[in-house]
Amino acid sequence: MELAFGSWPSPIDAALAAAHDGHPEYVGFVGDEVWWTEPRPAEGGRRTLVRRLADGREESVLPAPWNVRSRVIEYGGQPWAGAAGPLVVFVDFADQRLYRYEPGGEPRPLTPAGPRWAEPRMRLDAGEVWCVMEEFTGDAPTDVRRVLAAVPLDGSAAEDRDAVRELSDGRHRFVTGPRISPDGRRAAWLAWDHPRMPWDGTELVVAEVADGVFRAARTVAGGPEESIAQVDWAPDGSLLYASDRSGWWNLYRDGRPLCPREEEFGGPLWKLGHRWFAPLENGLIAVVHGRGATALGILDPETGEVVDAAGPWTEFAPTLAAHGERSEVGVPPSEGWGRIVAVGASPRTAYEVVELDAVPHARTTSRGGAPVGRARVVGAAHENSVDPAYYPEPHIRTFTGPAGREIHAHVYPPHHPACVAPGDELPPYVVWAHGGPTSRAPLVLDLAIAYFTSRGIGVAEVNYGGSTGYGRAYRDRLREQWGVVDVEDCAAVALALADEGTADRDRLAIRGGSAGGWTAAASLATTDVYACGTIIYPILDLTGWGSGETHDFESQYLESLVGPLAEVPARYAVGAPPRPLRHWGRSPAEHADRITAPFLLLQGLDDVICPPAQCERFLARLEGRRVPHAYIAFEGEGHGFRRADTMIRALEAELSLYAQVFGLHPPGVDTLELRT
């Protein structure tokens, strides 16, 4: 069937895309069972705890409205831990208290109201759970302290803050949860301070554990220019960690590299409890690693050999667990220690829980890339809700940007099993700028992308300079160049697609959320590449965002992204000359008068990371400019939309914007009212 781009009928509607938003996280073992958290968009966007029973059935552990999600550093972290029995502790999103739960009973609070918790570690031998505690000391978002703390499992601290025992001295602004050595005599954790972000520089701290108290804490690795992404103990008591001291996050054991490669065995620590490696009882190490995309493999630290699991998965999330990890529960490993669980996806499958059986009681003997053990899906299995013929077919591309620099991108051309466009028509394309910006767009099946490509609209995800997965030098391209390099790289990809005849030069759009929303807005304000844009819970005003409007974790992020305010005030300045952007004010809010392209602005009213005030000031400065636009604010949504009805409305509004600007005729889409 020959139909114009953008008018192809598609079975992938916004409701279907919303139902598949989000993926499993925080996998672990409770006894012999695999457990994880999973999103429920249709249940108010909560996350539930799921267990895989012995017969293979999956069971939601907690009914609505329980929401297993931490708010520590606002992005959260590992929200649960469990032990055989089963006995589970978890953080509930509503009040951020830590709860104890045993199936058949009701959750009981372990902590008082007020503090927040993340990365619980069961210490059954001590009758405690050790966690990161975040406690606000005043009204400002930066009035906060974080320490490692011990919470009694008997509930005696539920109404008594004094019953919470602090383990660390509070000398660092940020800490991760403690990992306990196999003999129980040492604890290790990561720490860092403003203005560094964890991917800039972290310290690896080790302390002696005596009578349940941390003593003689000292930094043994890391520093201002070395990022350590994860730490753990090997069964023999040696210290394992992922450091980027070589320019890549590689694994080290007691300071010695185990597998020096120009690829990543770690990543950006956006959430406490991210894991890229897990030590096994026989000395091998399960690893999530790669350059760009990631694989699940087994590393032999004696030889440096990595053997990857066979299977269709081309991307693994930073969550990993090994059965019987003694540091978690204080009990010896069981006979099933060789089981490894992870979360993997591919361009044809969404994220699903994957289990790998490592070879027990033996080192790898395979050579030449043969798999070790057997990998299979054990939870949240991908199911094709529509014919896979409608899924997009991505192309992994490397483009050339300004000064000849490489730009990595995933290009998703329009794709439909039964429709083609007239031979002389070029398709519209939307450039997607990922958030972070210290992050990356993974190459996985995303029905939000399929929502557009199956209708005849191409998508290009750009892993612009500053993205992770390509080494520290690539990541550092964005240092003090935010609003410049990201904007230039996205524009370079868009224009290259047009120049090569892949995209219609007159029908290019840009969209992004959070830091990607900044890039989208800055692109509209400073280039003429795009005919329109979609801006989602964005940063728009550097001065406001960097002076108390955001949360503590990112409150000094601009020091590295833009430069220290005291040294380069003109980059933040109101009313500064707009060009060149490398030296003058970069905020889209300061250059709103330069925006002429229509745009859609989407915002959660409960967002404390990129608050609605950013959007309101931006729109006020557009007043009278007669730029067609729509602003939709969602009650009850924070940073990252989670509710199905929100995501449905947002996707449909976005499609309507492109339809109006590009002259498309998608069937069954209500017209978004654009104000001027």
Q: Which residues pair with 148 in a beta bridge?
A: 132
The domain defined by 386-662 folds into Rossmann fold (3.40.50)
Q: Is the dihedral of CA 424, 348, 287, 79 positive or negative?
A: positive
Which of the four pLDDT bands, split at 50, 70 and 90, describes residue 609?
A: very high
Does residue 427 contact residue 421 with C-beta atoms inside 8 Å? Answer: yes
For the chain, the domains span 196-273, 386-662
Region 551-558: mean pLDDT is 96
Q: Report pLDDT for 490.
A: 98
Does residue 378 contact residue 352 with C-beta atoms inside 8 Å? Answer: no
Q: Which range is least confidently modeled, 301-315, 396-410, 575-589?
A: 575-589
For 407-420, write each residue's pLDDT tens digit: 999 999 999 999 99
Structure tokens at 138: 């005043």
- pLDDT of 13 > 80? The answer is yes
- pLDDT of 368 > 60? The answer is no
Q: Report pLDDT for 372.
A: 63
Beta carbons within 10 angstroms of residue 500's beta carbon: 9
Q: Report pLDDT for 370.
A: 40
CA 107, 118, 102: angle at the middle one, nearest 5? 20
- pLDDT of 492 > 50? The answer is yes
Helix (H, G, I), strand (E, B) or coil at 456: coil
Residue 96 phi/psi, 5° resolution?
65, 15
Q: Report pLDDT for 529.
A: 98
Q: Report pLDDT for 419.
A: 96
Q: Listing from the earlier edge strand, what are the strands of the sheet with 315-322? A: 315-322, 339-346, 349-357, 374-379
Q: What percent of the chain has pLDDT over 90?
A: 87
Strand 532-536 to 599-604 pairing: parallel
Helix residue ranges per DSSP H, 322-394: 326-329
Q: Report pLDDT for 580.
A: 52
Q: Is the dihedral of CA 24, 59, 373, 286 positive or negative?
A: positive
Does residue 375 contact residue 310 with C-beta atoms inside 8 Å? Answer: yes
Structure tokens at 20: 């598949």
Residue 91 phi/psi, 5° resolution?
-100, 130
Q: Report pLDDT for 359.
A: 61
Region 529-553: mean pLDDT is 94
CA pair distance 79, 474, nearest whole angstrom: 32
List, as one string, the DSSP characters of 384-403: -SS-GGGS---EEEEEE-GG
Q: Report pLDDT for 583.
A: 47
Region 261-270: mean pLDDT is 98
Q: Report pLDDT for 565.
A: 87
Task: Output b/e per residue, 602-611; b: 16+ Cβ within 10 A.
Answer: bbbeebebbb
Instruction: For the chain, give the number of residues.
Output: 676
For 561-573, write each residue's pLDDT tens digit: 999 988 988 898 7
Residues 6+ apart with CB under 8 A from 642: 21, 22, 39, 41, 44, 45, 46
Does residue 20 contact residue 39 with C-beta atoms inside 8 Å? Answer: no
DSSP state of 547: I
Structure tokens at 271: 């959430």
Query: Which residue shows structure tokens 């959007």?
Result: 615
* 515-526 vs 485-499: helix crossing angle, rounded to 10: 70
Going from the C-alpha of 14 to that of each of 41, 108, 448, the distances in angstroms are: 13, 38, 8
Does residue 88 contact residue 33 with C-beta atoms inside 8 Å? Answer: no
- pLDDT of 575 > 50? The answer is no
Q: Is the dihedral of CA 447, 452, 455, 460 positive or negative?
A: negative
Q: Which of 608, 611, 637 is nearest to 44 (CA)?
A: 637
For 584-599, write each residue's pLDDT tens digit: 579 999 888 899 999 9
Going from the C-alpha of 513 to that of each of 451, 468, 478, 641, 666, the distances in angstroms are: 17, 17, 18, 10, 24
- pLDDT of 367 > 80? The answer is no
Q: Report pLDDT for 362.
A: 41
Does residue 429 contact residue 458 with C-beta atoms inside 8 Å? Answer: yes
Q: What percent of the chain has pLDDT over 70?
A: 94
Query: Across the chain, what does the average pLDDT equal?
Result: 93
Beta carbons within 10 angstroms of residue 220's beta carbon: 14
* Helix-strand-coil split of the chain, %, nearest 5: 15, 35, 50
Residues 6+ apart with CB under 8 A from 91: 68, 69, 70, 79, 80, 97, 98, 99, 116, 117, 118, 120
Q: Report pLDDT for 363.
A: 44
Region 19-33: mean pLDDT is 94
Structure tokens at 577: 């000359």
Helix residue ranges per DSSP H, 462-514: 472-476, 485-499
Burial class (CB in 10 A: 0-12, 13-18, 19+), 676: exposed
For 184-225, write each residue's pLDDT tens digit: 999 999 999 999 999 999 999 999 999 888 999 999 999 999
CA pair distance 130, 119, nearest whole angstrom: 8
Query: Which residue shows structure tokens 């094709």?
Result: 384
Three-state DSSP string of 287-327: EEEECCCCEEEEEECCCCEEEECCCCCCEEEEEEEECCCHH
Region 265-292: mean pLDDT is 97
Q: Listing from the earlier edge strand, what are the strands of the sheet with 256-257? A: 228-233, 239-243, 250-253, 256-257
Going from the C-alpha of 499 to that of each of 486, 494, 563, the distances in angstroms are: 20, 9, 34
For 417-438, write each residue's pLDDT tens digit: 999 999 899 999 999 999 999 9
